[in-house]
Homo-oligomer: A and B are copies of this chain.
Amino acid sequence: MTDTPQMNGAESLVHTLIDSGVEVCFTNPGTSEMHFVAALDHIAGMRCVLALQEGVATGAADGYWRMARKPASTLLHLGPGLANGLSNLHNAKKAGSGVVNIIGEHAASHIELDAPLTADIEGIARPMSHWVRTSPSAETVGKDAAEAVQAAQVAPGQIVSLILPSDTAWNTGGVVHPPLPVPSAQPFAEDMLDAAARALSGPDSLLLLGGGALTEANLQIAGRIAAKTGCKLLSEWSNARLERGAGRVFIGKVPYPIDMALETLKPYKRIVLIGARAPIGFFAYPGKPAVLTDPDADILTLAPAGTNIDAALSALCEASGATDTPPAHVAEAALPDRPEGPITLDSLAAQIARAIPENGIVMDESVTTGRAFFPVTKGAAQHTWLNNTGGSIGYCLPAAIGAAIACPDRKVLALTGDGSAMYTVQSLWTMAREKLDITILVFANHSYQILRGELTNVGVGNPGPRAIDMLSLDRPALDWVQMARSMGVDAQSATSCEDLEAALQDGLAHDGPFLIEVAL
């Protein structure tokens, strides 16, 4: 027996997370997490980022993973704190992001008393998590934490929820666990390789890419395959992370609106999937198909998410004899002309293309406003483009926080609809607090514009005043400049192309967050 003071469970957790490479904790803690907070206080190595609502914390962890390629932790207060974070965990799950949630729980003896904050935390976690565990004792917390970090890194990335009863945090007996290896990705479907190589030939064949296939190097390989075989390239409707810009292989997207998607995919008779899923409708619409490809198309899944995408693309390139073929679709540096006058969807797209900074990160939740942005930004400075992959709005601002923390030397341009931005508006405060280099464009069309189209798509013609009212944000109009300033973020409004150009220059020149309200 020595007189070394014993470590408590919370301390073993913090040490283990840090040793396992987890460097950031996005949090809103409560009483049941106070020992964790105390451990974070006296153990160096974890950046703690406070969020005023847990949706900000989980969305930030998603953005962090996508850019850092390693998990952040979140620290959430019991069932309700986790519940507030669920919708952005949903988005993270659909993006294939790895997130390590640490969720406080009452002490084991207290749970049966059904105190006000008691809830079925495992039950709340399960629908949005790949891995759920409640640590039974201070002794097991370290090991559980190491396994949680490992589980978060199962390809492409998993949502992990580790529940920590407060007595397991405050009791002594904590044991720091060494880091566990990052699990290898599953092998791709090598037996389909020859068939895939044969399928790709001519403009009625499509190589559809997603997830890890959208790195600069993998797109370069896809470009070679396209050049050699004449196949077309497309990415999914929405991509967790896509490298783009002048000098890189350009790839289009399957459109969101169902009729455009059907039209786009109709020509393809042979489709090879790498990191992507077979295209389906975002929603079901009466009288329209749910599967968007030609019913007679042959679809070959060469490398589903979670498999070794890099190896699949390289092998396909070799099997296609394209190894030495120069890639097709390399985007030339080209910026649209400087737009003038009123802001339209087209002039806005041009303005954004001109403003994207070299090596910038574009966080895109521009919904209807942004449909024109993608082709026009093809030849802009090199940048990374991130989409909302789960469809739960309110992802953009939190994810921008995570991206900015993962990449402190890169500028983040956050493009968001006003309806989306309001979902997690508390993000602005965290941006100000952490002085994050994020320029935000809020597209103030004062409505859930997308739903006006959807009313027609589902067959509701001539919506009346009550329906229109439920999709409108103009009564009262939100004042985004005041909103931003109330949380310590400087802001300007832009009503013309000239205003917008000046505001973008100001915002991007200045270190720290800056919000531009784009009046539409």
Contact = CB atoms under 8 A, between A and B. Distances in A.
A123 B451 CA distance: 26
Contacts of A464: 41-42
Interface string A28-40: 0111101101101
* Residue of A87, A120, A290 with most chain B CB atoms under a 10 A cut-off: A87
A115 to B, nearest CB: 6
A119 B129 CA distance: 11
Interface in A254-282: 277, 280-282
Interface of A: 27, 29-32, 34-35, 37-38, 40-42, 48, 50, 52-53, 55, 79-81, 83-84, 86-87, 90-91, 94, 106-107, 109-110, 113-117, 119-120, 123-124, 126-128, 166-167, 170, 237-238, 277, 280-284, 286, 290-291, 389-392, 394, 419, 422-423, 425-426, 429, 432-433, 450-451, 454-455, 457-460, 463-467, 469-471, 473, 475-483, 485-488
Contacts of A115: 280-283, 391
A166 B40 contact: no
Which 3 pairs from chain A and chain B are nearest by CB?
Answer: A476-B488, A80-B392, A83-B86
20 contacts: A31-B282, A37-B470, A41-B464, A42-B464, A48-B469, A50-B470, A52-B423, A53-B394, A80-B87, A83-B83, A83-B392, A110-B281, A114-B277, A115-B280, A115-B283, A166-B283, A167-B286, A429-B476, A478-B486, A480-B486
Contacts of A433: 475-476
Name the residue in A27, A37, A119 with the highest tally of chain B Cβ atoms < 10 Å from its Cβ.
A37
Contacts of A83: 83, 86-87, 90, 128, 392
Contact of A460 (B38, B55, B110): B38
A33 to B, nearest CB: 9
A41 B477 CA distance: 22
B454 A31 contact: yes
Given A80-B86, A80-B390, A282-B115, A48 B470 contact: yes
B116 A390 contact: yes
B476 A124 contact: no
A427 to B, nearest CB: 11
B87 A458 contact: no
Contact of A422 (B52, B124, B167): B52
A458 to B, nearest CB: 5
A419 B52 contact: yes
Contact of A476 (B426, B432, B467): B432
Nearest to A32: B283
A469 B391 CA distance: 33
A167 B53 contact: no
A459 B31 CA distance: 11
A256 to B, nearest CB: 10
Given A119-B128, A479-B485, A466 B41 contact: yes
B422 A467 contact: no
A476 B485 CA distance: 10
B283 A451 contact: no
B478 A34 contact: no
A12 B485 CA distance: 46
Nearest to A418: B52
A116 B170 contact: no
A34 B90 contact: no
A107 B392 contact: no
A422 B94 CA distance: 28
A5 B494 CA distance: 49
A47 B424 CA distance: 26
A451 B34 CA distance: 8
B53 A458 contact: no
A284 B277 CA distance: 47
Nearest to A488: B476
A210 to B, nearest CB: 12
A116 B94 contact: yes
A282 B87 contact: no
A124 to B, nearest CB: 5
B27 A470 contact: yes
